[in-house]
Amino acid sequence: MAKTMEKELQIDTRGIKNSAQVIRAIRHNLRKELLQLIHAHGRMTVSEMYHKLNIEQSVTSQHLGALRQAGFVHTERNGKNIFYSVNYQQLEHVHGIVDKLLGK
């Protein structure tokens, strides 16, 4: 007779939500464009970005918020300005995870 073990399935819903948030953040074309722009300039303010991309300030802020929540950008306040810079460590971390998932 085969002996079976019952094991409770553990699902990390918080981890799944965080992973989905990260994937959504990097899949959006405007967010990729924002990351490229910040990378090219080192650090930028929201107003510098929306002027360069010719989009609304609110749209820029919304997408930067998604990138910030996913950990892809750092923020630094200098007086009234908030400067955004790329968090290369997070990008490399996510890239490594994706490579592992794809068997690379």
Per-residue pLDDT tens digits of the chain, which is 104 residues long: 455 556 776 766 666 666 777 777 788 899 999 999 999 999 999 999 999 999 999 999 999 999 999 999 999 999 999 999 999 999 888 878 777 777 77
Q: What is the mean pLDDT of the chain?
A: 86
Task: Kindly report the pTM of this predicted structure.
Answer: 0.77
Q: Where are the domains of the chain?
A: 15-101
Task: Report the alpha-carbon angle 46-17-86, nearest 5.
Answer: 30
Per-residue pLDDT tens over the stretch 33-55: 999 999 999 999 999 999 999 99
Fold (CATH) for 15-101: Arc Repressor Mutant, subunit A (1.10.10)
**Nearest Cα to 87, choosing from 51, 48, 49, 34?**
34
Is residue 32 within 8 A of residue 61, CB to CB? The reply is no
Two structure tokens written together for 100: 């592992």
